Amino acid sequence: MNETKHECIVLRTRNTGEMNKIVILFSRESGKESVIAYGARKMQNRFGSSLEIFTHGNALIKEGRKTGMPTLDQMDIISSSYDLFSDYTVSAHLYYYSELLNTILQDGLTEENIFRLTIEMLRGFKLSLSADLVSAYFELWLLKFIGALPDYKICHHCKRPLSNQQFLYASVEGYLFCKECERNGVEKGKQFNGNMYNIIGIIFENKIDNAILRNLKVGKTDVTEWTNLLFEQTLEKELKSFRNLRAIREY
Ligand SMILES: [Zn+2]
């Protein structure tokens, strides 16, 4: 039978039958794919802790037999994320990102940029960077990659450049516009934190382990109040796992 090796991240699992699990993988080469792990619920099974959420590893996958679903034969861990779940704030973020990625990614569609971003997000948490920084980084880039990030340099209405003191966002659509347009009665919006413009610029210019980024002060809602609105707008719903996170972020 045809067996292939996939570098992947475990997004989520669910039980099936008495002893088995369906595992949703995010593969670097082939995007989201569901596989079945026979015997994964037996005590002392061969998968050990490799099927925990956000395990990064190499999976050996066999083409499907009767069920049509491919079989997960083996999972070799490159990097485990298990320890991250002992931190309540970090785990609330990770459960949300698991659901978010599972909702956004499409079966079989390669998303290598998002794959690398997910690895960087995990690395940020493993480096114990602030959850507010890691989430701003992950969410801004994810929005950019899926084409859902509005222009943050130019006013949506008058097309003049935005600056760090002078912009607002539309509380339904999420696009940005200037104070001048609000004064002229075009639209009323929500005021951004003044620091936000700089934060976005720095995030898009630096890798997550860069010192400039590491020292960047990001408040709880500086960026994510806006990015969450954009995700809700894009997905047309609020994700279940976001409720927990909302309580932590105190919007
Ligand atoms: Zn304007």
Q: How far is the CA of 157 from the centre of ligand 1 (A)?
A: 5
Mean pLDDT within 223-248 = 90
Give me the residue label for tokens 């779940």: 85
- pLDDT higher than threshold 60 for residue 230: yes
Give me the residue label for tokens 């709880």: 220
Parent domain of 45: 3-80
pLDDT at 190: 86
Q: How far is the CA of 251 from the centre of ligand 1 (A)?
A: 26
Residues 145 and 207 in one domain: yes
Total residue count of the chain as it appears in this document? 251
Q: What is the rounded CA–CA span in Å between residue 104 and residue 229?
A: 15
Residues 49 and 139 in one domain: no
* Residue where a domain terminates, one of 20, 50, 80: 80
Local structure of 190: helix, strand or coil: strand
The number of domains in the chain is: 2
Residue with more model confidence, 249 or 134? 134
| CATH for 228 | 1.20.1440
pTM for the structure as a whole? 0.93
Q: What is the rounded CA–CA span in Å between residue 251 and residue 236?
A: 19
Q: How far is the CA of 218 from the centre of ligand 1 (A)?
A: 26
Asked if residue 146 lies in contact with residue 234, where contact means CB atoms within 8 angstroms, the answer is yes
Q: How far is the CA of 162 from the centre of ligand 1 (A)?
A: 8
Mean pLDDT within 133-142 = 96
Give me the residue label for tokens 């990030």: 149
- pLDDT higher than threshold 90 for residue 76: yes
Note whether residue 167 is domain-resident. no
pLDDT at 215: 85
Q: How far is the CA of 179 from the centre of ligand 1 (A)?
A: 7
Cα R_g (the chain), whole angstroms: 20
- pLDDT higher than threshold 80 for residue 58: yes
Q: How far is the CA of 166 from the centre of ligand 1 (A)?
A: 10
Residues 7 and 108 in one domain: no
